[in-house]
Chain A
Amino acid sequence: MNAAEHLPALQVVLPLAAAPLAVLIRHRLTAFLLVLAAIWSAFAISVLLWLQVGDSGPISYAIGNWPPPWGIEYRVDALTALVLMLVSGVAAVVLPYSRASIEHEIASDLHYLFYAMFALCVAGLLGIAITGDAFNLFVFLEISSLSSYVLIALGRDRRALVASYQYLLMGTIGASFIVIGVGLLYLETGTLNMMGMAIRLQGLTGDRAVLAALAFLTVGISLKLALFPLHQWLPNAYAYAPSAVSAFLAATATKVSVYALLRFYFSIFGETAIFQRLPMADFMLLLALAGMFLASTVAIFQQDLKRLFAYSSVAQIGYIVLGISFDSVTGVTATLVHMVNHAVTKGAIFLLLGGVMLSLGGITLTRVQGMGRSMPLTSFGIVLCGLSLIGVPGTAGFVSKWYLILAALEHGQYWLVGAILSSSLLAVVYVWRFVEVAYFRAPLPGDEVRREAPLSMLIPAGLLVVATIWFGFDTSLTVGIASDAAQELVRSGR
């Protein structure tokens, strides 16, 4: 019995067990420390798993010692390791931040429930990434979704309740579609194991049940992914949720859905000839472009900064899906790099906005004017992240757009380079709106004095801002893992 062998199970079990314990303890400091310990160890485990995968290739772990076709298999490969590190890493940064942040947003007798839900949400997201069983993926998806509905509903504004309810409707429809897709695949192949499905689907060209499964899975995952035009739930959910929750969900929830999409498209359907028969790539390309342009345009006209950056998230998801639609190693690398870079950037922005909310009491553009003087560090951080959203060289966003453009050139679609650049110009406009208001307008009366957010909130946000810049210069970590994962995915296909 070697503890290292059981790391894949511990990865999910630790946060999952921390949640009910936190509810039983009912004491907010103890609950916080418990969940913090669970999530920091989950991050350590994800790094260990990544090292293990690097040394000895994909890990397969049989839950309860039932071998794969019968039992549930946990499977860790380069892609899984990347998503695990992203989710647990962001959670490890956001959780210490949330302690100061929810102090002002959630009644203090509910704090232990917040920590429990947070741990549950992390467990669900990690589970989606690590499981090798298609039905198990649905169960973890629901664990993470149900807990995120609760987290969003904890927002101070009553509109948070409606946003959460709408997300619940859309999310449940999405999850039901996913489970219908999985059911059809199960009827077709007789197995729920992803590897098993892939083997039995090999060489299929146009079975109607498989096509229906592909359609249901695409729509279902796109709902969770907030792919344009199925993004309606996202802006309100991010805008009215507590700051720490907005940051965590913006950085991880949609990214894990990207993972699910890649897993189904490349690992399961990869060896079928479906993509050659259906214009899937053109279809995804169209939706990605629509998202990039329309959502960025809508972002320009927002008054509330959280909503502005939420619409920008929908646009960035467009870039992520654009990479998938190329169906090549470079394209998927671009997708994965942008997934990480955007998670770090958007996480940092929402953490900083939480500080603004706390100090100034509002985040509408009229409220934050002159913020460059009263909160210089925070404003500077938001501007740096904004540059990364635009894709200015020296920031993380540049690296991912560079790879997207490389993939477009490799594909021979030169006009796409123009599309990527011109949609970046729209990002310039909405980031500039913040810069103009924060730096070129006089502060509101009473805002002249310096009042940054407390250090316990500035430090986690600062960490992510530094990561945004770091990933812009040192790409060995992000691009390294991403290209390994992309090669694994796309090679398993063609």
Chain B
Amino acid sequence: MSLLSHYSYGAMVFLLMAGLYIVIGRGNLVKKLVGLGILQTSVYLLYLAPGKIVGGTAPIVSEDFSLYSNPLPHVLILTAIVVGVATLALGLALVVRIREAYGTIEEDDILGCDRQSEAEEPSP
């Protein structure tokens, strides 16, 4: 139980933080979605890595093997991957619509556009 034997958790935390940083730190809407994808990938790793048992085989009942890896995390993460794909697709679709409406996909420019149009609105 050394720190090294837990390296998958280290990788998971790194991916999580990297993803979160990109979502917060970048102004480009597509890059933010990339960050979101990295963040979700870290979750996959959290589930998948502990499911593997060193020396374990796929869970097929056979007399030759007694040590099996846990297949459940794979099933769960398959679901999570589908959710991730759907989120990314929806996010990109929104970015396309935002580009059509504002002509830009930079967050600062979009906020600037909104402020400008709010200022131009006739105030009775």
Task: Give the residues from 72 to 100 in chain B that come closer than 8 angstroms, CB to CB, to chain A.
Answer: 76, 79-80, 83, 86-87, 90-91, 94-95, 97-98
Among B43, B97, B124, point to the contact of A161 (Cβ < 8 A): B97
In contact, A176 and B98 (Cβ under 8 angstroms): no
For residue B109, give the distance in angstroms from its CB to the closest CB of chain A. Answer: 11
* Any B CB within 8 A of the CB of A142: yes
* Any A CB within 8 A of the CB of B18: no
* Any B CB within 8 A of the CB of A267: no
In contact, A183 and B101 (Cβ under 8 angstroms): no
Known A172-B40, A173-B39, A179-B43; contact A366-B98, beta-carbon cutoff 8 A:
no
Task: Give the residues from 116 to 166 in chain A that come closer than 8 angstroms, CB to CB, to chain B.
Answer: 135, 138-139, 142, 146, 149-150, 153, 158-159, 161-162, 164-165
3 smallest CB-CB distances across A and B, nearest first, come from A158-B101, A142-B83, A165-B94
For residue A230, give the distance in angstroms from its CB to the closest CB of chain B. Answer: 13
* 7 extra interface residue pairs, beta carbon distance < 8 Å, beyond A158-B101, A183-B43: A138-B80, A139-B83, A162-B98, A165-B91, A165-B98, A169-B36, A173-B39
* Interfacial chain A residues near B79, Cβ < 8 Å: 135, 139
- Report the Cα distance A443→B83, complex, angstroms: 50
Interface residues in chain A, defined as those with a beta carbon under 8 Å from any beta carbon in chain B: 135, 138-139, 142, 146, 149-150, 153, 158-159, 161-162, 164-165, 168-169, 172-173, 175-176, 179-180, 183-184, 186-187, 192, 366-367, 444
In this complex, the member of B16, B32, B87, B97 whose beta carbon has the largest number of chain A beta carbons within 10 angstroms is B87
Known A142-B87, A168-B94, A179-B80; contact A161-B40, beta-carbon cutoff 8 A:
no
For residue B103, give the distance in angstroms from its CB to the closest CB of chain A. Answer: 11
Residue on B with the closest CB to A366? B124
**CB 8 Å contact bits of B30-55 with A (1 = contact, 0 = none):** 00100010011001001100100000
* Interfacial chain A residues near B32, Cβ < 8 Å: 169
Among B46, B86, B114, point to the contact of A146 (Cβ < 8 A): B86
* Interfacial chain A residues near B90, Cβ < 8 Å: 146, 149-150, 168
Chain B: interface secondary structure? helix
* Interfacial chain B residues near A366, Cβ < 8 Å: 123-124
Residue on B with the closest CB to A142? B83
* Any A CB within 8 A of the CB of B102: yes
For residue B68, give the distance in angstroms from its CB to the closest CB of chain A. Answer: 14
In contact, B23 and A169 (Cβ under 8 angstroms): yes
- Report the Cα distance A325→B59, complex, angstroms: 45
Report the count of interface residues on B (CB-CB < 8 A): 30
* Any A CB within 8 A of the CB of B17: no
* Interfacial chain B residues near A173, Cβ < 8 Å: 20, 23, 36, 39
Residue on A with the closest CB to B75? A135
In contact, B124 and A165 (Cβ under 8 angstroms): no
Residue on A with the closest CB to B113? A158
* Interfacial chain A residues near B123, Cβ < 8 Å: 366
Residue on A with the closest CB to B121? A364
In this complex, the member of A142, A192, A367 whose beta carbon has the largest number of chain B beta carbons within 10 angstroms is A142
Residue on B with the closest CB to A135? B76
* Interfacial chain B residues near A138, Cβ < 8 Å: 80
Among B39, B76, B114, point to the contact of A176 (Cβ < 8 A): B39
**CB 8 Å contact bits of B109-123 with A (1 = contact, 0 = none):** 010001000000001
In contact, B36 and A444 (Cβ under 8 angstroms): no
Residue on B with the closest CB to A70? B72
For residue B87, give the distance in angstroms from its CB to the closest CB of chain A. Answer: 5
Can you list 25 contacts pairing A with B, beta carbon distance less than 8 Å?
A142-B83, A146-B83, A146-B90, A149-B90, A150-B90, A161-B101, A162-B110, A165-B98, A168-B87, A168-B90, A168-B94, A169-B36, A172-B39, A172-B40, A173-B36, A173-B39, A175-B83, A176-B40, A176-B43, A179-B80, A183-B43, A183-B46, A192-B76, A366-B123, A367-B124
* Interfacial chain B residues near A186, Cβ < 8 Å: 47
For residue A151, give the distance in angstroms from its CB to the closest CB of chain B. Answer: 12
In contact, B94 and A172 (Cβ under 8 angstroms): no
* Interfacial chain A residues near B97, Cβ < 8 Å: 153, 161
* Interfacial chain A residues near B91, Cβ < 8 Å: 165, 168-169
- Report the Cα distance A165→B96, complex, angstroms: 11
* Interfacial chain B residues near A164, Cβ < 8 Å: 94
- Report the Cα distance A165→B40, complex, angstroms: 17
- Report the Cα distance A135→B98, complex, angstroms: 33
For residue A334, give the distance in angstroms from its CB to the closest CB of chain B. Answer: 34
* Interfacial chain A residues near B95, Cβ < 8 Å: 165
Residue on B with the closest CB to A178? B43
- Report the Cα distance A342→B83, complex, angstroms: 31
In contact, A149 and B94 (Cβ under 8 angstroms): yes
* Interfacial chain B residues near A168, Cβ < 8 Å: 87, 90-91, 94
- Report the Cα distance A153→B98, complex, angstroms: 10
For residue B15, give the distance in angstroms from its CB to the closest CB of chain A. Answer: 11
- Report the Cα distance A135→B80, complex, angstroms: 10
- Report the Cα distance A192→B24, complex, angstroms: 31
Residue on B with the closest CB to A236? B114
Among B47, B50, B94, point to the contact of A153 (Cβ < 8 A): B94
Residue on A with the closest CB to B76? A135
In this complex, the member of A146, A159, A162, A192 whose beta carbon has the largest number of chain B beta carbons within 10 angstroms is A162
